[in-house]
Structure 1
Amino acid sequence: MSAPQSFSKSDVSIGIDIGAPADAAPLAIDPARLQRQELLRLEREIAARHTGGGMWGYSVAALGGFALWVALFPLTMMGIIPLWIGFVASTVLATGGYVTSHEAMHSNIARKGDPLRWLNELVGQVSTIPLIFPFSMARMMHLQHHYHCNDPERDPDYPDAAPSAWKAIVKTWLNRQPRNGGSIHHYKKILAELDSPASRRAQRDTALLQLAAMAIFFATAWSGHALAVAAVWWLPRHIALSYIRFYLSWAPHHPRTGQGRYGNTKVFKSNLGHVMSMCMETHIIHHLYPSIPNHRTRAAYYEMREILAARGVDVSAL
């Protein structure tokens, strides 16, 4: 990619002689502003090239993954597959489910008014069931995160802030406990402030899904399959939530002091690589252009890298 175009004073003088007397009329256009406008134009051209296209892979992964996850229960309870295989498969499916739901949260599978809008909503709904986190609540909290990123009071993910990676991992577990300062209380505070039909529906959906999950836990344990439900649902859910919180919340936003369009997230290098970090190394692209699908953020980043650097983004990590 060629370096972003720069502008000299004479480029934008609009016919005014730069050697004119001091009392001459000032320039009508600020050169720095013109450069910013050109950078934004180039940035948007790149984003447009990576937006749209087929999203069937997410739908197939979500629906197929959910069907497989449901099948793990009878397969492990009947001894057809060992518990450890059920545990590993369920952990992967629960973690990956957030990626497919994430695309549905931003309506990247189908926008409102699209004939396939029902598929967008279905993908979102089934993807978060293994996490016992209803889609209505997940979408509302995630969009609030975008609106108020790194705001201590209004960003739902702010409780994940921690001074180091290991402390962040521990905190993902502590934040799920019923104590003051954790994610539960922060969510409740934000929902109370929103006080809308959508927020009340999200709270209702959360209560119903949690009650249903608890009923299934108790019923399977009562029938002698406590280990199966623990290995296939309870433990994978907690591991998946910690993994998701670490890579989607802590890693790309640490230390949560950045503000503004180009500062509220960062570029980082994951020890597990781009795919295993759920493509979050280039999470800045998602915050800039949420309509770019998750699997295309890396390519968009490398095309946009020089522009981002000119905007003041630290791109040294990648």
Structure 2
Amino acid sequence: MKTDPVNSEVTGCNQKKLPLPAHLSTPPVIAWPTLLLALLSCSWYGYTHFRYFYSGGITYQSALAQWFVAAYLCFTPTHDATHDAVASSRAGKRLSKGINAAVGRCCALPLCAPFYAFRFLHLQHHKYTNVVGKDPDLWSSLPPSLNSLMEASAMNSSSLQFVLGHLVVMIVMPFKWVTQLYSYIFHYVRHRAERPTSEVIESYVMMLIQVFYPLISLGLYGRESHAFWCYALPGYLAIGLLACSFDYLPHRPHGTTDIYQGTNLTALFSTTTNNRTGSRRSTSYITSPLTWPMLYQNYHVIHHLYPWIPFYRYSTVWTALEEQLLDAGVPIVPLLPVGLPRSKVEKKKR
């Protein structure tokens, strides 16, 4: 299929996907590792609050770091719950719906995110991946001005401009990533008329409690605002890292809506070629160090192709389909440099 321009109305979600082997295509009844991660991360988050406020023996800096990491871990069960991947329909429709909703709601709390609003926005991302104006996650991509800067620096890789270009990206982009939540809110409000009334009411109430109350509290109480410093701030920091590792890195440089080329395999480094005309190194070797820090989102292309698969199976599916995926044009993008202009990938396609 011909690659679509970034602003095309035709998106990759309609493309034909590679068939999965039978033993990989059937989702588990209950994804126990995901459920365990949800339990551990939420328990860690809650226990840290208990230690900080009641039992003592922990500094604010230590508590903040633990809240941040626990919130980051909470996102993966939330993310899988949006696709009903924590419990499949094989568990029974009612039980599956209940488990996914419970996990999604609980794990979204540390992230200051109303679960059902996030679910709608995330499914919009899948439907309109890299489509300008429709993909909520494009907020985390390079803005046009920085993209132009990176295109210019890419043409002068031995110059000071190359170094400065990447420094600017690494300084500016974190500010965009930590504000991804507000972009989500704006996007959801724009589409509120399309959503069920009960969902909108719940989402608005949770936005008031999770997002706006901590800001009001900060204005009223300053340094004494527990709602901001002990809840919102670690959530914002986790959102910033998640926007980088889940939204930005797996879709760099956001230059196509093709389902194979618009999402990549993120590697620590790469000497692999898509057309296999050169020598290839083991993909698992160059990407495996990122698997745990990114919670398998270095294999994010697998998630976009088969969203019902639990996160811990992504690497298994990649290994089974590696040759076919590379032939289909899936790019392997090194972690560094972080800034990657759209033209770099478009030149590869030609």
TM-score range for the pair, normalised by the shorter chain length: 0.7 to 0.9
Structure 1 segments unaligned to the other structure (5+ residues): 1-36
Alignment correspondent of 1:101: 78
* 2:102 pairs with 1:122: yes
Give the Cα–Cα distance (whole angstroms) in 2 for the partners of residues 168 and 224 of structure 1: 27
What CA deviation, in whole Å up to 9, does each residue of 1:199-221 have, x standing for no partner?
A: x4444223212333455787799
What is the correspondence of 1:1-318 to structure 2 with a 5 Å cutoff? 40=18, 43-45=19-21, 48=24, 51-52=27-28, 54-78=30-54, 79-111=56-88, 113-162=93-142, 163=147, 166=170, 167-176=172-181, 182-189=183-190, 191-192=191-192, 195-198=193-196, 200-213=197-210, 215=213, 226=224, 229-270=227-268, 273-315=290-332
196 and 250 in structure 1: CA distance in 2 versus 1, 3 angstrom threshold: same
CA drift at 1:96: 0.9
For residue 227 of structure 1, report the CA deviation from its aligned partner. 6.5
Q: Which deviates more from structure 2 when the two are superposed, residues 106-115 or residues 258-267?
A: 106-115
Measure, in 2, the Cα distance between the counterparts of 1:152 and 1:93. Answer: 32
Structure 2 CA distance for partners of 1:303 and 1:280, relative to 1, 3 Å: same
Contact 2:291 2:298 in 1 (8 A): yes
Deviations 1:80-126 (A, max 9, x none): 43222321221111111110111111101223515343122100110
Q: Which SS does the other structure have where 2:292 is aligned?
A: helix
Task: Give the letter aligned to residue 97 of structure 1.
Answer: C
Structure 1 residues 183 and 229: CA distance shift in structure 2, 3 A: closer
Contact persistence 2:218–2:228 (CA under 8 A)? no
Q: 1:114-156 deviations in whole A, cap 9, x for unaligned?
A: 5343122100110001111111011111111111111112111
Match for 1:267: what amino acid?
A: L
Partner Cα distance (1:135, 1:311) in 2: 34
Native 8 Å contact 2:87 2:100 kept in 1: yes
Q: CA contact under 8 A between 1:217 and 1:226: conserved in structure 2?
A: no
Q: Which has the larger radius of gyration?
A: 1
1:4 alignment counterpart: none
* Residues 175 and 60 of structure 1, relative CA distance in 2, 3 Å threshold: closer
Cα distance in 1 between the residues matched to 2:239 and 2:76: 12
For residues 201 and 159 of structure 1, do their structure 2 counterparts lie closer, same or farther at Cα, with a shift above 3 Å needed? farther
Counting matched residue pairs gives 272
TM normalised by structure 1 equals 0.74
Q: Does the aligned pair in 2 maintain the 1:172–1:242 contact within 8 Å? A: yes
Cα separation, partners in 2 of 1:77 and 1:296, compared to 1, 3 Å: same
Percent of counterpart pairs with the same letter? Answer: 21
Q: Within 1, Cα distance between the matches of 2:65 and 2:246?
A: 21
Structure 2: how far apart are the matches of 1:220 and 1:183? 22
Distance in 1 separating the partners of 2:72 and 2:44: 14
SS of the residue corresponding to residue 235 of structure 2 reads: helix
CA contact (8 A) 2:178 2:243 kept: no
Matched residue type, 1:306:
E
User: What SS class does the counterpart of residue 157 from structure 1 fall into?
Assistant: helix
Superposition CA RMSD, Å = 3.3
CA distance in 2, matches of 1:185, 1:122: 25
Residue range with higher mean Cα deviation, 154-163 or 76-85 = 76-85
Letter in 2 for 1:287: H
Unaligned runs of 5+ in 2: 1-15, 148-165, 270-288, 336-350
- Closer/same/farther in 2, CA of residues 82 and 227 from structure 1, 3 Å limit: farther
Residues 42, 106 of structure 2: 8 Å contact kept: yes
DSSP 3-state at the match of 1:268: strand
Shift of 1:60: 2.9
Identify if the C-alpha distance between structure 1 residues 161 and 46 changes in structure 2 by more than 3 Å, giving closer, same or farther. farther
The answer to whether the 8 Å contact 1:279/1:297 transfers is: yes
